[in-house]
């Protein structure tokens, strides 16, 4: 259980058994999102498949939305951890390689990670290419839109690993870049179920060119 995901729980699991139960519930939630979608997802079925009493479910999650919020935060942590690992292993020559790596990792998760096509970083999608269900733009934080939270976490990563300046201008630029990439990648998955390669390439080019004013040099 990641720290971010644990922070959404009613009660933080203190014992290994409780931690394993929470992880099983999140795993089954992800699988059910692929199988039946968000609207048909029920807390009762998640608990049944995770082999936990329904009372145990409500000890940790207030409702279905709270469960999905915890899954989205776990997904975001997984993405950032993968990014950090790959950046550390490959030592990219410049920041443009990091942009490509991040988009590639996101696409890989869309194609392979259970539930990620329905809920990636908070927004609940009817399909991997959208549209989003109303009222899910602030799943990660009640005060901030999902993409603002994602951009802020990415900013911390690029400052730490790439030595980028921790300026307000960079923070704003990353919000714009995340919003733009999100829109183009949704389009890529509407065009093709695995993500249209040409649109993915255009997304990389768009983000690299836009961020060049803030990260080049």
Kindly report, residue by residue over 131-164, the tens digit of the pLDDT: 899 999 999 998 999 999 999 999 998 888 777 7
Q: Is the predicted pLDDT of residue 187 greater than 60, yes or no?
A: yes
Kindly report, residue by residue over 66-99, the tens digit of the pLDDT: 999 999 999 999 999 999 998 888 766 677 888 9
Task: State the total domains in the chain.
Answer: 1
pLDDT at 44: 97
Percent of the chain past pLDDT 70, that is, above it, reads 91
What is the CATH classification number for the domain harbouring 132? 1.10.357.10
Give the residue ranges of DSSP H helices in 61-145. Answer: 64-90, 95-112
Determine contact, residues 155/171, Cβ cutoff 8 Å. Answer: yes
Kindly report, residue by residue over 26-64, the tens digit of the pLDDT: 999 999 999 999 999 999 999 999 999 999 999 999 999
Burial zone of 188 (CB within 10 Å; 0-12 exposed, 13-18 middle, 19+ buried): buried
Kindly report, residue by residue over 122-135, the tens digit of the pLDDT: 999 988 888 899 99
Kindly report, residue by residue over 97-127, the tens digit of the pLDDT: 889 999 999 999 999 999 999 999 999 998 8
Residue 105 belongs to domain spanning = 3-215
Please state, as a whole number, how many other Cβ atoms lie within 10 Å of the Cβ of residue 65: 14
């Amino acid at each position: 259980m990641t720290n971010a995901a644990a922070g959404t729980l009613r009660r933080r699991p203190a014992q290994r058994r409780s931690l394993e139960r929470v992880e099983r519930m999140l795993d089954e939630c992800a699988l059910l999102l692929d199988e039946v979608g968000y609207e048909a997802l029920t807390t009762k079925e998640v608990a049944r498949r995770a082999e936990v009493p329904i009372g145990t479910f409500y000890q940790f999650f207030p409702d279905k939305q709270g469960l999905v919020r915890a899954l989205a935060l776990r997904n975001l942590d997984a993405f950032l951890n993968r990014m950090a690992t790959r950046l550390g292993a490959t030592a990219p020559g410049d920041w443009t390689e990091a942009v490509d790596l991040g988009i590639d990792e996101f696409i890989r998760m869309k194609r392979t990670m259970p539930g990620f096509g329905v809920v990636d970083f908070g927004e609940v999608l009817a399909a991997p290419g959208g549209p989003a269900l109303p009222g899910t733009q602030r799943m990660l934080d009640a005060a901030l839109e999902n993409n603002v939270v994602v951009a802020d976490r990415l900013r911390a990563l690029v400052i730490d690993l790439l030595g980028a300046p921790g300026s307000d201008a960079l923070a704003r630029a990353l919000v714009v870049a995340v919003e733009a990439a999100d829109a183009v990648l949704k389009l890529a998955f509407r065009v093709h179920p695995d993500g249209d390669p040409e649109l993915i390439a255009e997304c990389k080019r768009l983000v690299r060119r836009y961020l060049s004013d803030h990260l080049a040099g």
